[in-house]
A and B are shown apart, each in its own frame.
Chain A
Amino acid sequence: MLVVEDLVVAYGAVEALHGVTLEVKAGEIVTLVGANGAGKTTTLRAVSGMVAPRAGRILFEGTSIGGVPSHRLVRRGLCHVPEGRRIFTALTVRENLELGAYTVRGHAEVATRLERVLALFPRLSERIAQPGGTLSGGEQQMLAIGRALMVRPRLLLLDEPSLGLAPLLVQEIFREIVRINRDEGVTILLVEQNAHLALSTAHRGYVLETGEIVLADDAKRLLEDPQVKAAYLGAG
């Protein structure tokens, strides 16, 4: 579904990715783990068109999407939940969600999607008329994911959905992620600091180190990998 080949991205003179190659197949959850500053966010940003790649190819469902602006990709079914949630604080929860369906024509369709998302996150329906900025951190994360689901993406890019959440909420969010993948058939590329959680959720994983992929394998096998254990799972 998504193929990234030799992707090079630079911010000004600083090269952040030196040739990243990875693949996400339809129906999978694939995770990208790595230390701070490894380039995980940058990879997602390049895929969703937020930064222009300097070299390399990005194929989405067989066609090249390098240089296609983000808002067009949304119409093609690729949706990115950025790092740090970035919900619209002045818009109400409902408006935030409706904005997720921005590309959708027809009230009825928007209403059914809204219903589905609210069924998925019942907490949001309790806060439906509240401005997004007044939600708690976890609720905001739910809103961010719910907003992305309003797009009905075929490929969902999630950047650190657990950021700043209590462990219980993290569990809850990750259960949702698995359910979205299983029940709604959404393919997911997941970036996560918590490597253990990410690898136990995903089918496959990539390890990114200073702008390069150093390991790629089944998530289960990566969990067992001594290198990964030492570097990311906090075990000797």
Chain B
Amino acid sequence: MTLRLRNLARALPALALGYVVARMFAGDVGGDGTLLDYLAIGTAQGAIYAFVALGYTMVYGVIRLINFAHGEFFMVGAFAGYFVLRDAGIEKLAWPQPWPLVASYAVALVAGALAAALLALLAEALCYRPIRKAGRIAALLTAVGLSLLLQNLARQWPPIGPTQRPWPAPRLWAAAADVPSPADGNYYEIRTFKSPSGESVDREKLVVAKGQRLTPANLQRLEALPGPQVFRKGELSPALVDRSIVLMLGLSTLVLWFLVQRTKTGKAMRAVSEDHAAARLMGVNVNRVIAATFFLGAFLAGLGGVAFCAKYGQVDPLSGFMPGLKAFIAAVVGGIGSIPGAVVGGLFLGVSENLFAAYVSTEWKDALAFVLLVAVLLSKPTGLLGRPYREKI
């Protein structure tokens, strides 16, 4: 009987999740404040938490370190995506719409993930590896220091700076001759100016507003330029981003599961997680396994960072802080060290936060995560899906 109840307790949320996701993909989730809407919003947000939580949980599983800098890997990934999206001009590809749009988003995701992952490799080699033998508190403080360092470096480094930046709208480039008349949207060109200090600065300049006609003089001037000459600002719809996030989470979880359960590296990871020395005695290069874990975790954080900032339309050096903290809570709630736990914890936190904000109180929303955290820690310290409580010191 109890067994049945437990199965039911597992099956019901899974079914509900499946239903919500199905409705999301069917595209009939509107913004009119029904329960389904909040569930969908929560699921998308929770999926981002889950992305980040996966990295926390993997690193914790392997070296028992709460990697506080994980949220900053997320932020760095987001900025890498931002720069690629802003500067690479992938949209100039002569593909039909919306493929340049999708391609630029995909490239931003990959760039963000790789940047975060490479940063994590560097951080692991320079900070975490030397500190590993010095004890848990030293390692944890190092992680905190790294988090502060990255955050503040981003704030001080001129190309990033402390201010919030709008997420760049992908540019849909076209040849001036192809602009319909009257124009079907605002069209811009890039003009290079000399700034007072002598550097050349690129600015967007409106060429023709929606509904207007391109003047022949302009057309002639523009056509003299090489390549596509004018662009429209494209937009990835939030619903599309949400769907992509849920899809990516599903795929990543499957891939991770396969990696950890079915491959040699995964086996080595699980072995290292249990006993470094014994794994080493079997010929496992423990340092390399740990580096791989950081790489994978940060890769996912980078994906999450780009998706998060694309969804909310802005990015800044503190972008990683709250999602990082929440994802950390999600990882603990789900059971730190457990991969399915991270996913369940993330979705659970995202959904309950949004339901709470919708039906109870927005001011206390941030407290909810922490209260949930304490409640779970006290009733089941190893989390919803964690292994039995066993502290290794």
Contact = CB atoms under 8 A, between A and B. Distances in A.
Chain A directly contacts chain B within the complex, with at least one CB pair under 8 Å = yes
Interface of A: 48, 50, 69-71, 74-75, 79-82, 86-91, 95, 98-100, 102-103, 147, 151
Interface residues of B, number: 19
A82 B275 CA distance: 12
A79 B278 CA distance: 11
Contacts of A80: 281
Given A71-B283, A74-B282, A74-B283, A102 B264 contact: yes
B293 to A, nearest CB: 16
B286 interface: yes
Interface string B256-283: 0000000010011011011101111111
Given A70-B280, A82-B277, A82-B278, A88 B270 contact: yes
B280 A71 contact: yes
A148 to B, nearest CB: 8
B275 A86 contact: yes
Given A88-B271, A91-B267, A71 B278 contact: no
B262 to A, nearest CB: 10
Query: Which of A75, A80, A81, A88 has the largest number of chain B CB atoms within 10 A?
Result: A88
B164 interface: no
B285 A71 contact: yes
Interface in B266-310: 267-268, 270-271, 273-275, 277-286
A65 to B, nearest CB: 14
Most buried by A among B275, B280, B281: B281
Contacts of A70: 277, 280-281
B278 to A, nearest CB: 4
A71 B286 contact: yes
Contact of A88 (B275, B283, B285): B275
26 contacts: A70-B277, A70-B281, A71-B281, A71-B284, A71-B285, A74-B282, A74-B283, A80-B281, A82-B277, A82-B281, A86-B277, A86-B278, A87-B278, A88-B270, A88-B279, A90-B270, A91-B267, A91-B270, A91-B274, A98-B267, A99-B268, A99-B279, A100-B282, A102-B282, A102-B284, A151-B282
A74 B281 contact: yes
A102 to B, nearest CB: 5
A148 B286 CA distance: 17
A99 B271 contact: yes
A102 B283 CA distance: 6
Contacts of B264: 98, 102
Given A88-B271, A91-B267, 13 more contacts: A50-B280, A70-B277, A71-B280, A71-B284, A74-B282, A86-B275, A90-B274, A90-B387, A91-B270, A95-B270, A99-B268, A99-B271, A99-B279
Contacts of B271: 88, 91, 99
Contacts of B268: 99, 102
B284 A48 contact: no
Nearest to A132: B274
A91 B275 CA distance: 12
A86 B275 CA distance: 8
Contacts of B275: 86, 88
Contacts of A74: 281-283
A48 B274 contact: no
B274 A88 contact: yes
B267 A48 contact: no
Nearest to A87: B278
Contacts of B279: 88, 99
A196 B277 CA distance: 30
A88 B266 CA distance: 13
Contacts of A48: 281
A103 B279 CA distance: 12
B204 to A, nearest CB: 55
A223 to B, nearest CB: 31
B281 A95 contact: no
Contacts of A75: 283
A104 B4 CA distance: 44
Contacts of B270: 88, 90-91, 95
A95 B266 CA distance: 11
